[in-house]
Structure 1
Amino acid sequence: MKKHLLFFFALLQVAILPAQPLLETGGKEMPDEWVDNVTHHRVMRLVRRQGINLSFYFHNNPFVGNEMVFYGSNERQKESYTGELKNKAQEIYNLNVKDKQLYVVNLENLKVRRLTQESGKIQGEIVHAKSGKVYYQCQDSVFSVAVKTGKKELIFVFPADFKASITTINADASLLGGAYATEEEKEISKRYPEKSQYFNRIYEARLPRTLFTIDIKTRQLQKIFTDSAWLNHVQFSPTDPNLLMFCHEGPWHKVDRIWTINVKTKATPKLIHKRSMDMEIAGHEWFSKNGNYIWYDLQLPRGQTFFVSGTDLKTGKEIKYQLQRNEWSVHYTSAVDDKTFAGDGGDPGSVAKAPDGQYIYLFKPQGDHFEAERLVNMKHHNYKLEPNVHYSPDGKWIIFRANFEGFEGIYAVEIEKRRTNDSQ
């Protein structure tokens, strides 16, 4: 009898939930919650503070328990996002907005708290879930701030001859990691601020870069590896505190991109995937949550056949799942168990040249390919701002950022469809 009552109560709760309107996503300001009229999945505005709000890059963990760390600014920029108009989301992400700060949102009640009070520009999307701390950089100084208490601590100040940037933290929160760029490289970036201007110039310059770690306890900096290549995309394994992944940045069809190095032994870096044909590309790599795989976007060749591929770090064996052109995404991510994946789609100007690819996607491996489900129609989103998908901690939502309302915000789409009595 008790079980029947509980089941009835659960049904009653669903029945009395207010119905969300069935709407086209974007092109105007949206309500806090709605059902996408193309995909029939529930979408919600996850962060409801005024101003610009941006979730983290796709491979940077933003979660501590049931809270999510994000960047926010007090600006609220509404634009048409057409043509070559520079969008404010790029500006805040590239540290050109002075009041950009770190905030945290509670995923249960959506309450927002501000974590940082810096007067200078800050950078770094580094959250360690177990310690509950966020690490960030303000000019030459590295700080931590505790998510629960807001307690701030100075960790390290870069010396005058080694002005570098932190990008990652290892599994046991003992080391921060990053890459150092020469002053010559920084001058190229300064003189040519747009990616289309600096990208090939930095790659062709072949200037040295150095991977480094900072011991959080001893405050000691250690240089790990230097190469005359554009070392970038630096990420620690989520489970092995000594394993660091990095890439050889540059035009993807010209580089064997994905590498790992043991920061303790400093042994010769290991190539994770070697290109096998002309114009093959592999990139936007990330670790699986259990640290067993490195996953990446693979195209054989560029712009023709599309896969999400993974390399088993123990055996070196590669597996790959094929996607259709419209399903290719700027970035992908994987669930905790690697049984589903998500992607943020792409517009016709992206590498896939997809005529109908502007969606947030859910992917389920089926043999050698993905079975795709569209979650959010992104036709009104300008892909100058990359959506960068994340699974919520409970695995029930996909979190992303978008500008389809005319300003930058953080949203979540429910993976499971709900039966509703929606109306236009």
Structure 2
Amino acid sequence: MTQARRRTVLKGLWGASALLPMAMASAPGRAMAQADQPASPAQAAPAAPQGPAPKQWTDPKTGRRILRISDQEGSGVLYFYRQAYTPEGDVMVLKSPAGIAAVRLKDWSTTLLVKGKENELLFMLRNTREAVYAVTDAGDGEAAERPKTIYAIHVDTKKVRKLARIPSGGISGANADDTLLLGSVTYGAKPLQPRDAASIEKFGKAEYAALGPDGKPLNFAKAKGVRMLERWASRVPAELFTLDIRTGQRTVLYTTEAWIGHAQFSPTDPKLIRFCMEGPWHRVDRIKLIQADGTGLRSVHTRTMNMEIWGHEFFSQDGKWLWYDLQTPRGQVFWVAGLELATGKRVWKRVEQNDWGVHFNIAPDNKTFASDGGDFDMVAHAPDGKWISLLQAETIVDAELDSYNDKLVTIEQFRSTRLVDMSAHDYRLEPNLRFTPDGKWLVFASNMHGANHVYAVEAHAPAAKAGI
């Protein structure tokens, strides 16, 4: 790196964006202080283009080709870190109003695997060509409190086999050798919000509602924050557990009265689990690691300042790193932070505020990242954050730092390349972006044309037209 370029990058790292006043209450981190996940304010939803969603087009601002993958309005993707592809990388699963669908990536053709929207798509197994899904028993009350049967269906033969049955709670993942299922359960927790079917259909979540101290309705983000705080403070028993697929043995790994979420196995280490403590991010010690036998519980990150927040954690695809959204402090300085699991080495990659996303993800090369943007108003400092973007890191190197201390955090800077203009997207629906196994496309959900659909954008093709 040239000396001039080094000065430019360092200026970007520690420039004006790091000094924004705390009074800017609509920063994304501020929404996270009020809600576990960043959410759009309940302002008027962006105007979606009229007419049906096009099958493909070139983004006029970025020059990138975008394809509509889903055939049915109301389709969606798995949560951003859940396994969605076959081991061979040729088939992806997605959710549709008709049921669970399979997409052949070579031609983007879609077929229905499991008919019926009552079948809840969970993830793909890592060693077989099977999609795992849950069927909840009929009855009153929240689905999380009712028994579920867990099945796996082969994406080619459509042969179904039963994996497990649980009395309550949910299954969120399987380990790297497909021998254990991972789940969590909470006993007696009240729902965050009454489940209104219309909002769940449109955004995948309830339409949060709450009143402020003045008796007036709060916007979506603040209302969700109220409900999240209530749930976090409720202190009800919870368990993290595994189920042996072969024997059915249930093993409780961790018990607490705190709120467990986001439990996942490492994609490569069949014994390593990460999970989080849900709740307002500035109040919790968010990310935990534990072994599949219940030993080795530890925290991933230690807070060093008031209002420091971190979350939306995910493994690198080779399983060597754990990455997460870090803000030091909330809404002021943005990073994608990483922990190398074998060595304890830490790298923080600086994210400009317009490149921040509800979620980040990583490509198969384990170097390239992506952001799905966010719906927030940073006044004059970051008014333009609604983009799907590629993020590529640039190391900050000085001669006197060549023999750096591995025990200290290594700082890098992201360079961004915008791929999709998301200005018409309502971020109450999370895009949940992911790279395809060949790294050539980014798949995401959007309501930019009104109805929910699943799209793919070329990630590494040269832009046909540079409009930004």
**TM-score under structure 1 length normalisation:** 0.81
Map Cα deviations across residues 222-270 of structure 1 (whole Å, 9 max, x no partner).
Answer: 2111012101110100011111110011110111100011012x21411
- In 2 relative to 1, CA 356–157 (structure 1 residues): closer, same or farther, beyond 3 Å? same
Q: Which moved more, 1:240-249 or 1:188-197?
A: 188-197
Task: For 1:343, give the aligned amino acid.
Answer: S
Runs (5+) with no aligned partner, structure 1: 1-24, 75-100
User: What is the match of residue 58 of structure 2?
Assistant: 35
2:345 is matched with 317
Kept in 2, the 8 Å contact 1:54–1:410? The answer is yes
| 8 Å CA contact retained: 2:126, 2:176 | no
Local SS of the residue matching 1:52: coil
Match of 1:132 in 2: 129
Identity %: 37
Contact persistence 1:303–1:351 (CA under 8 A): no
Which amino acid in 1 is paired with 2:57? W
Q: CA RMSD in A?
A: 2.3
Alpha-carbon distance in structure 1 between the residues aligned to 2:381 and 2:264: 29
| Cα drift, residue 129 of structure 1 | 3.4
Q: Secondary structure at the match of 2:274?
A: strand
Q: What residue in structure 1 maps to residue 96 of structure 2? A: 72
Mapped pair 1:244 → 2:238: no
Query: How far did 1:417 drift?
Result: 3.9
* Cα drift, residue 26 of structure 1: 5.9
Q: Does the CA-based 8 Å contact 2:64-2:464 persist in structure 1? A: no
Cα deviation, residue 56, structure 1:
1.4
* 1:231 matched to 2:260: yes
Q: Deviations over 1:358-389 (max 9, x none)?
A: 00000000111100010000011110101111
Question: How far 1:347 moved relative to its partner?
Answer: 1.2
Which residue does the alignment assign to 1:277?
305
- DSSP-derived class of the 1:201 partner: helix
Match of 1:102, as an amino acid? I
Label 1:210 to 1:147 Cα distance change in 2 as closer, same or farther (>3 A): same
The letter of the residue matching 2:153 is V
Residues 35-184 of structure 1 aligned to structure 2 (within 5 Å): 35-47=58-70, 49-64=71-86, 65-74=89-98, 101-118=99-116, 121-139=118-136, 140-159=148-167, 163-182=168-187, 184=188
2:369 corresponds to which residue? 341
Structure 2 CA distance, aligned partners of 1:124 and 1:224? 25
Quickly say closer, same or farther: Cα 1:247–1:165, change in 2 above 3 A: same
User: Which residue of structure 2 lines up, in the alignment, with residue 21 of structure 1?
Assistant: none
**Distance in 1 separating the partners of 2:130 and 2:255:** 29
> Which consecutive residues of structure 2, in runs of 5 or more, have no partner in the other structure?
1-46, 137-147, 197-205, 209-223, 396-411
Higher relative contact order (CA closer than 8 Å, sequence separation 6+): 2
Q: Structure 1: how far apart are the matches of 2:382 and 2:185?
A: 36
C-alpha distance in structure 2 between counterparts of 1:42 and 1:187, whole Å: 41
Counterpart code for 1:105:
V
Match of 2:238 in 1: 209
Residues 62, 463 of structure 2: 8 Å contact kept: no
Normalised to the residue count of structure 2, the TM-score between the two structures is 0.74
**1:395–1:137 Cα change, 3 Å:** same
* SS of structure 1 residue aligned to 2:115: coil
The one-character-per-residue Cα deviations of 1:297-318 (angstroms, maximum 9, x if unpaired) are 0000000000000011112221
Aligned-partner residue type, residue 214 of structure 1: L
The reply on whether 1:221 has 2:250 as its aligned counterpart is yes
Deviation at 1:418, TM superposition (A): 4.4
SS of 1:185's partner is coil
Amino acid of the structure 2 residue aligned with 1:285: E
**Contact 1:329-1:345 at 8 Å conserved across structures:** yes
CA contact (8 A) 2:78 2:123 kept: no
The one-letter amino acid of 1:151's match is: K
SS of residue matched to 2:75: strand
Instruction: Report if the CA contact (8 A) 1:42-1:414 is conserved.
Output: yes
Assess if the C-alpha contact under 8 Å between 2:61 and 2:465 holds in 1.
no
147-156 or 339-348, larger mean C-alpha shift: 147-156
1:36–1:136 CA distance, 2 compared to 1 (3 A)? same
Aligned residues: 365
